[in-house]
Structure 1
Amino acid sequence: MTHTETKPALINGVNVEALLGAREAFEAAPKAAEFTWKATSEWKGGVHTRTEMNKFSGLGEEQSRSKTFTIDTDHPEIFAAPDAAPTPTEIVLAGLAGCLTAGIASVAENRGIRLRSVRATLEGDMHLYGILGVDPSTRNGFSAVRVNYDIDADASHEEIEALVAQSQKRSAVFDIFTNPTNVFVTVT
Structure 2
Amino acid sequence: MDVSPDTTAPTIVNGINLHGLFALIDDVKRDPAKGKTNWHVITTWQGQTRSRAEVESYELGGEKVPRQFSIDIDEPRELGGSNNFANPQEHLIAALNACMTVGYVAQCAVRGITLESLSIETDGDIDLRGFLGIDPAVPPGYEKLSYTVRINGSGTKEQFAEVHEAVMATSPNFNNLSRAVALEAVLIVE
TM-score, normalised relative to structure 2: 0.90
2:154 is aligned to 154
- Equivalent position of 1:45 in the other structure: 47
Aligned to 1:96: 96
SS in structure 2 at match of 1:185: coil
Q: Closer, same or farther in 2 for the Cα pair 1:72/1:9, shift >3 Å?
A: same
SS of residue paired to 1:75:
coil
The code of the aligned residue for 1:116 comes to E
Q: Alpha-carbon deviation of 1:16?
A: 2.5
Instruction: Quote the Cα distance in structure 2 between the aligned partners of 1:14 and 1:174.
Output: 21
Higher relative contact order (CA 8 A, sep 6+): 1
Greater CA deviation, 160-169 or 81-90? 160-169
Identity of aligned residues (%): 24
Gapped regions of structure 2 (runs ≥ 5): none
Tell me what 2:115 maps to: 115
Query: Aligned residue pairs: how many?
Result: 185
Q: Give how far 1:5 is off.
A: 5.2
3-state SS in 2 of match to 1:17: helix
Matched position secondary structure for 2:14: coil
- 1:46-91 CA deviation, whole Å, 9 max, x = no partner? 11000011212232233322xx111111111111321111110110
Return the alpha-carbon distance in structure 1 between the equivalents of residues 70 and 10 of structure 2.
35
Tell me the amino acid that sits aligned with residue 34 of structure 1. Answer: K
State the 4+ residue runs in structure 1 displaced beyond 3 angstroms. Answer: 2-5
Task: Quote the Cα distance in structure 2 between the aligned partners of 1:150 and 1:59.
Answer: 34
Instruction: Please list every run of 5 or more consecutive structure 1 residues that lacks an aligned counterpart in the other structure.
Output: none
Q: Residues of 1 paired with 2:124 and 2:66: CA distance?
A: 32
Shift of 1:8: 4.9
Separation in structure 1 between the aligned mates of residue 56 and residue 77 of structure 2, nearest angstrom: 30
SS of the aligned residue for 1:32 comes to helix
Q: 1:60 aligns with which of 46, 52, 62?
A: 62
TM-score (norm: length of structure 1): 0.91
